[in-house]
Amino acid sequence: MPSSSSKDSERNKSFKGRESACVPILDSVKSPREKLTILERAIASARNGIVITDPTLDDNPIVYVNQSFLTLTGYGADEVVGRNCRFLQGEDRRQKALDDLRNAIKETRAITCVLKNYRKDGSVFWNELTVSPVHNEKGKLINFIGIQNDISSRVEAETRISEFYSIVSHELRTPLTSIRSSLGLLEEGEGGSLSPEGKKLVEIAFRNTDRLVRLVNDILDFRKIESEKLELRYSSITARSIVEQVVRELSPTASEKSIGLVVDIKSGSEAAFKADRDRIIQVLTNLTANAIKFSGERSDVTIVVDLRRKNFLRFSVSDQGPGIPRSEVGKLFQKFQQIDSSDRRREGGTGLGLAISKSLVEMHGGNIGVDTTLGSGSTFWFEVPITRI
């Protein structure tokens, strides 16, 4: 008589096969023929293209397609049954997604990928394809089922967005940078002496142009992050050099509000480590600029660097501002989100800075967060793993 554990093993094995089989258990339908009829009609009437292949036959040929697949591709059933699905790729066989798809089929696991496919008339469509293995009651692979979804409109929209960002990059950022540089020279007196009124106007124009440049850069950076095209360039850096550069660049802004920038680099955190210097500066600059923006006049913003836990360097920026309501903290690191309190809202901003900072820190393998108490200021911090040089 088989043991209880043996029975459980057989039951689990049987369940695994039935769970992944093409024909699931329909408890309300007793007749196997009825079950098959319901499933066949469901597949046949689905709006997504459905194709079933047989990996037990040579070259994993198509054994079934529904009408939506034929409508999508323009082929007749007699033109596709018996062929491998690769004919849909035409001569375009070097797509990276194809390598992922082949590996998934080889390893008999499910996958969703996007392929550039061709209809019978040669026109292109972008196919969001989900392929899943199908097993029988004994767990043996008997089929693959592919669900096809035409996402050409979505891909076209994404292409237009990419083109827009390209226009922003070349047609906006370049002239804005030139205007900003020219205004900076005028402010320094390179174009001749200015009257007090003229100098004030130039300062206003410079400040707002600088704001526009930051906005454009934020949008472009976030686009790169979303499309996974932003790459980190690692080099040997020190925390002190990073902090000193940020303080040097933001001192004029802090001075306008009589805000002191206090630096505290703890013992043990001064050794060189590997990171993307420009991106770490970008994150620390954003946190420090925000602290200055939301601090009252004649207060201090403190930058602390220390080793809070093994192999992680923490940069902290503390202000003496109004603090952040607990209900608003969850919004801070989301794109296009800003705190709604009037004190903060009047300062403006892109709503992207903290979201970009979060992405950059996480790309380094680190973490970012905030400790805040309403009425008692805030401390924004980020940690990055350090590899000693």
Domain boundary, last residue among 135, 150, 165: 150
Q: At residue 346, does pLDDT exceed 50?
A: no
- Place 177 in a pLDDT band, splitting at 50, 70 and 90: confident
Average pLDDT over residues 287-309: 92
- Pick 62 or 187 by higher pLDDT: 62
The proportion of the chain whose per-residue pLDDT surpasses 90, expressed as a percent, equals: 52
Structural domain of residue 75, as residue ranges?
A: 4-150
> pLDDT band at 278, cuts 50/70/90?
very high
Q: Which of 134, 150, 166 is the last residue of a domain?
A: 150
Task: Find out whether 272 and 389 touch, Cβ atoms under 8 Å.
Answer: yes
The H or E element containing residue 113 is: strand 111-118
The pLDDT value given to residue 21 = 43
Q: Determine which of 151-155, 168-172, 385-389 has the lowest per-residue pLDDT on average.
A: 385-389
Same-domain pairing of 240 and 312: yes
pLDDT at 339: 55
Residue found under tokens 């905030």: 370
148: helix, strand or coil:
strand
- CATH number of the domain enclosing 89: 3.30.450.20
- Residues 343 and 242 placed together within one structural domain of the fold: yes
Model pLDDT, residue 264: 95
Q: What percent of the chain has pLDDT over 70?
A: 87
Q: Per-residue pLDDT for 23 more than 50?
A: no
Check pLDDT > 80 for residue 35. Answer: no
**CA 21 to CA 24: how far, in whole Å?**
6
Q: Are residues 252 and 164 in the same domain?
A: no
Element (H, E) at 122: none
Whole-number average pLDDT of the chain:
85
49 and 75 belong to one structural domain? yes
CA-based max dimension of the chain: 104
For residue 28, pLDDT over 70 is answered with no
Tens digit of pLDDT for each residue in 97-106? Answer: 999 999 999 9
pLDDT surpasses 90 at 217: no
Q: What average pLDDT does this structure show over 59-67?
A: 96
Average pLDDT value for residue range 199-204: 87
Residue corresponding to tokens 């590899």: 387
Q: What is the distance between the alpha carbons of residues 319 and 199, in angstroms, rounded to a whole number? A: 31
On the question of pLDDT at 202 being above 80, the answer is: yes
Do 271 and 198 lie in one domain? The reply is no
The confidence band for 162, taking pLDDT boundaries of 50, 70 and 90, is: confident
Looking at the structure, do residues 247 and 294 belong to the same domain, yes or no? yes
- Identify the pLDDT of residue 350: 55
Query: Under a CB-based contact definition with an 8 Å cutoff, are residues 322 and 328 in contact?
Result: no
Residue 13 — very low, low, confident or very high, per pLDDT cuts 50/70/90? very low
Q: Is the dihedral of CA 21, 22, 23, 26 positive or negative?
A: positive
CATH code of the domain containing 320: 3.30.565.10
Where is average pLDDT lowest: 133-147, 161-175, 201-215, 369-383? 161-175
Task: Verify that 138 and 173 share a domain, yes or no.
Answer: no
- Number of structural domains in the chain: 3
Question: Do 146 and 159 lie in a common domain?
Answer: no
The answer on pLDDT for 212 being more than 50 is yes
- What residue has token string 């949008």? 219
Question: Are 127 and 163 in a shared domain?
Answer: no
Give per-residue pLDDT as tens, 350-377: 568 899 999 999 999 999 999 998 888 9
Is residue 234 scored above 50 in pLDDT?
yes
**Nearest residue to 317 via CA among 250, 270, 233, 252:** 250
Give residue 26's pLDDT.
54
191 and 65, same structural domain?
no
pLDDT value at residue 30: 61
Summarize the confidence of residues 190-196 as an average pLDDT.
85
Residue range 290-305: mean pLDDT, rounded: 93
Same-domain status, 99 and 200: no
Look at residue 201 and tell me whether its pLDDT is greater than 70.
Answer: yes
Mean pLDDT value of segment 43-56: 94
Final residue of a structural domain among 178, 196, 226? 226
Please check whether residues 342 and 272 belong to one and the same domain.
yes
